[in-house]
Chain A
Amino acid sequence: KNEVEQSPQNLTAQEGEFITINCSYSVGISALHWLQQHPGGGIVSLFMLSSGKKKHGRLIATINIQEKHSSLHITASHPRDSAVYICAVYGGATNKLIFGTGTLLAVQP
């Protein structure tokens, strides 16, 4: 079993829909990151979380440390949101950095 699991692996949505991507992990962490990768490879760091909730524009990220679970929400989705979203956890004391396999999101107009 992977130490970081993302779901779903693939997601197709219609423009305007509310989208949720989930990340579950089995290791102790000091921080969790959400990354966005567009076709062509460029990666952008969206959020770094150690507790609670963060919001940036139409994107919201939450984390529940006790349940070892994080969600990334996109409100009013747009075709330009189409990308791979990757969850990554940092183990802190272990200095271990583990990536999820990513969620491929396609938002259709």
Chain B
Amino acid sequence: KAGVTQTPRYLIKTRGQQVTLSCSPISGHRSVSWYQQTPGQGLQFLFEYFSETQRNKGNFPGRFSGRQFSNSRSEMNVSTLELGDSALYLCASSLGASGDWETQYFGPGTRLLVL
């Protein structure tokens, strides 16, 4: 089975712009979670989608949003970018049926730099 893929892998944006990141889960996985990783804050949970619905959410402002499509592919969007949004954004997929945080299969990440 193909692994989790994320596009793009690298991105440079300027403050005030918006960005959309894409994640394709492992075939058969219905849950997709998004994470932000920065040197200062480490790994932080953004949100989880299951069957096109947001099931869990971390403590991030409303500028961070996401969605999931019927084929389980997911996108996350960050509007009005700030310098502090520079980070590695990781998505992970899992089967998702239990509702708990199951074993996650991570993608390679998208490295976002905001100038």
Contact = CB atoms under 8 A, between A and B. Distances in A.
B80 interface: no
Interface in A53-109: 86, 88, 90, 92, 95, 97, 99-102
Nearest to B109: A41
Contacts of B109: 41-42
B42 A97 contact: no
B23 interface: no
A99 B59 CA distance: 13
Given A31-B101, A41-B88, A41-B111, A102 B42 contact: yes
B106 A45 contact: yes
Given A86-B43, A99-B42, A43 B102 contact: no
A95 B56 contact: yes
Interface string A15-51: 0000000000000001101010000011111001000
B85 to A, nearest CB: 17
Contacts of A30: 100
A90 B101 contact: yes
Contact of B45 (A31, A35, A44, A97): A97
A43 B58 CA distance: 19
Contact of B100 (A35, A44, A90, A101): A90
A99 B104 CA distance: 14
Nearest to A95: B56
B88 to A, nearest CB: 5
A42 B100 contact: no
5 contacts: A35-B104, A41-B109, A45-B103, A45-B106, A90-B101
The 7 closest A-B pairs by CB, nearest first: A90-B101, A43-B106, A99-B43, A97-B45, A41-B109, A95-B56, A45-B103
Interface of A: 30-31, 33, 35, 41-45, 48, 86, 88, 90, 92, 95, 97, 99-102
